[in-house]
Each structure stands twice: as structure tokens, then as C-alpha cells.
Amino acid sequence: MTDFKAALAEFSARQAEREAQAKVEIEHLKHAVIPCLRQAGIAKVEVRFDGSGDSGAVEEIICLDDADGTLACPEAVLNPIPSDRPDETERADPVLLPAALESLAYLALERHHPGWENNDGACGELAINVAEASFVLVCQVRYTAYDENASEL
């Protein structure tokens, strides 16, 4: 029989480890994408997502110049995401800018809105202001509601 307290402690420890790693990855990606975006003349990025029915995805990545004209997202190569786990070396595969932006959105959603894809889901965007190096996650959580009325007859 499993000791409930031990299982809960192990789960909590793993959850804290995952959260710490996500924080490292988010910070790495934030610092890695800004120079690439600046070099490409991109002023703003909108990483749009949508989810419901227990699934969700990044739908599109829109890159804009200073005049709000659409630009192609460059396929620039970023440094691999570091890992603080002793059993993992740095990820050997290069990370392309579009994949890094998508990963950043997923990590931010996991950290700030876990379950965003469940039930009625959520939609929104990760908005990046390149000049200010600011990142804002806008998440609109959907839900089903109802009004109940009772009348005595």
C-alpha cells in the first residue's frame, strides 16, 4: 500500500522542480528572443492561442514593424535552453525563433493559467513589445454559466 503522505511529498517536490525549471526556461527564452526580433526590425509580436475541449494550441505568431505592418517571423537560431538537472546536458538541438516564441507562450500558460485548454478553454495572446522587452500574457478564460430562478406557485 502506498503511503499517502510520502506520495504527496514526492508529488510536491516534483511540482516545485518543474516550476523552477519552467521559470529558468521562460527567462532564457525572454532574453534570447529580443535580440533576434530587434535585428529583424520587429517591433511587436502577438503569439495567439486558443483552447477548449481538453486541447489547445498556439494558432499563429504575428510579427509587426513600427507601422504595424506584418513581417515574416525569421528562422533565426537561438542558443539551446539550459537545464539545471544533473542528468541532462544542454539541449543539443538548435531552437528556431518561431519555436522559441511558441514554447514561451506554452510555458507562460502552464505557469499562470494551468488547464487553459480544458472544458470551455481560454484564448488570448502573449504580447511582446520588443523595444521595451516586455511580455504580457492576456488570457480570456471561457466558462459556462447559468441563471437559476425559482417561483412559488
Q: pLDDT for 68-118, tens place per residue?
A: 999 999 999 997 766 665 555 555 578 899 999 999 999 999 999 999 999
Largest CA distance in the chain: 72
CA pair distance 8, 13, nearest whole angstrom: 9
d(CA 39, CA 20): 30
- Name the 3-class secondary structure at 18: helix
Residue 94 lies in a domain: yes
Sequence letter at residue 112: H
The pLDDT tens digits of the residues spanning 35-60 come to 999 999 999 999 999 999 889 999 99
Q: Does residue 85 lie in a domain region? A: yes
Q: Is residue 147 part of a domain?
A: no
Domain range for 121 is: 4-141
| Residue 146: inside a domain | no
**In a domain? residue 120:** yes
Total number of domains in the chain: 1
What's the CA gap between 102 and 47, in Å, rounded? 7
The number of beta carbons lying within 10 Å of the beta carbon of residue 137 is 17
pTM for this predicted structure: 0.84
* Amino acid 2: pLDDT: 67
